[in-house]
Chains A and B, each alone.
Chain A
Amino acid sequence: MEVYLDTAATSIKKPDCVYKAIDNFMRTIGASPGRSVHKQGIRASRIVTDVRDKIAGLLGINNSSHLIFTLNCTEALNLAIKGILKQGDHVVVTSLEHNSVMRPLSAMIEERDITVTRVRSDADSITDPDDLRNCLRPETVLIIMPHASNVTGTIQPIEECCRIARKHGILSLVDAAQTLGCVSIDLTRLPIDLLAFSGHKCLMGPQGVGGLYIRKGLCPVPLKYGGTGSASSEEIQPDILPDKYESGTPNTPGLAGLSAALDFIAAETIEKIRQSIFEIGKIFRDGLETIKDVVVYGPRDMRFNVGIFSFTVKRRDPAEIASELEDRFGIMIRVGLHCAPSAHKIIGTFPEGTVRASIGYFTTKEEVEYFLKSLAEICND
């Protein structure tokens, strides 16, 4: 038996329609979108426009031109961070940030002399909005937080935190890499200025697609410049959305796959997906608690967990546990720091890291029970 429990890295099983849509695009369309106005070029352009509209619908955005497609969530975060921050700015982040946030910020510390304050989350990796408020300064221009930690799966109080930022005239950037597609995000209600997402995790699209929502009125500096198929008589970047931020031929096969995945999600509904992860996750989390010598991190209450579980086994190297799970039982999980060293400092697992198992919509109860039985065998040896 093979069991994949690494959805937080990428979802490996996709809805059938995703494979078919990519194949169909490659075989029957294949043209570059937004350039040539022939039959196939128009069909390719429609795919990009349709998928943009679908994401906008998922997020509750009226004008889909404010959704920018990127290679992945990391590129979206880079665009937001490098495009917004100026010399001497102050930024508040949580202690849960992925290196896709911390590394561009570190570069900005060097290049633009920015300063960064980290809000310490509690033992369950929950960030207290009052602590965030206390970190704000007159020169604070941006707060950044993950919607859910990629280490412990803890869902963050983004609404309260972004509301505090908005009240103080500070911009908010939410890293929704682990949530869009399995947790409802309604931007008609949430005061979020910038939201970065991944297309290949909870959204179940292929790798190579992500995106950034940019609130109307914000004009980050582009990450890249080049051909857009628009304003072609000018040699300067057009000030038109989404073209301003989407130079070069996009990953249209990937976007075709993402479009099909969004149809699947719309038919299933986010509520049903969330409920499934809640129920399977509860079996997972409760089961982990019963295994000898296993220490689990993050909240036990699945209302605050997105389906990511970090744990260690007393007196055992996490890498050794991962190897045994795969070699003896065919279970694929991830081990280490998960590109978020600061989050491990909070839960006391730095630098060894944890074993991280993450579930998705296609994870079954039988797979979870098999995992728990296998881990118990390893721990009892």
Chain B
Amino acid sequence: MTKERSIITFSSTHDALQAERIAREAGIRVRIIPVPRWISTDCNMGMELPIEQKDLLRAKLKAKCIECNFVNWKPEKQ
């Protein structure tokens, strides 16, 4: 069974890559992905990460004023 994951969307590639750097510095493993179209049709670049690390990364990104949205996603349901 596929594990539920968290997907983050951003308003720009710049913000997505800033977020990736912040995650990396915090030791959070993230993966850059094309944002599924059912989540957003804006910036193509998003990130996914294990759902249990969502809150930690959300706090880190908020502290750096990176605007983003978190969506929970379980691939098998799509």
Contacts and interface: CB of A to CB of B under 8 A. Distances in A.
Interface of A: 33-37, 42, 45-46, 49, 52-53, 63-65, 228-233, 238, 240-243
Interface residues of B, number: 19
11 contacts: A33-B13, A34-B45, A35-B44, A37-B34, A49-B18, A63-B65, A228-B12, A229-B43, A232-B43, A233-B41, A243-B13
Contacts of A64: 14, 18
Contact of B11 (A52, A53, A230): A230
Contact of A36 (B18, B21, B44): B44
Contacts of B45: 34, 37, 42, 45, 229
B11 A231 contact: yes
B17 interface: yes
* B interface, over-half SS: mixed
B12 A37 contact: no
Contacts of B42: 230-233
Nearest to B14: A65
A243 B33 contact: no
* A interface, over-half SS: loop
Contacts of B43: 229-232
Given A37-B33, A37-B34, A45-B17, A240 B44 contact: no
B1 to A, nearest CB: 26
A33 B34 CA distance: 13
Given A229-B43, A242-B14, 17 more contacts: A34-B12, A35-B44, A37-B32, A42-B45, A45-B17, A49-B14, A53-B21, A64-B14, A65-B15, A229-B13, A230-B12, A230-B13, A230-B42, A231-B43, A232-B44, A241-B14, A243-B12
A63 B67 CA distance: 13
Interface string B25-38: 00000001111000
Contacts of A34: 12-14, 45
B43 to A, nearest CB: 5
A240 B12 contact: yes
Contacts of B41: 232-233
Contacts of A228: 12
A34 B16 CA distance: 10
A53 B34 CA distance: 23
Nearest to B13: A34
Nearest to B45: A37
A373 B44 CA distance: 60
A49 B32 CA distance: 14
A232 B12 CA distance: 11
A36 B34 CA distance: 8
A376 to B, nearest CB: 53
Contacts of A53: 21
A232 B41 CA distance: 7
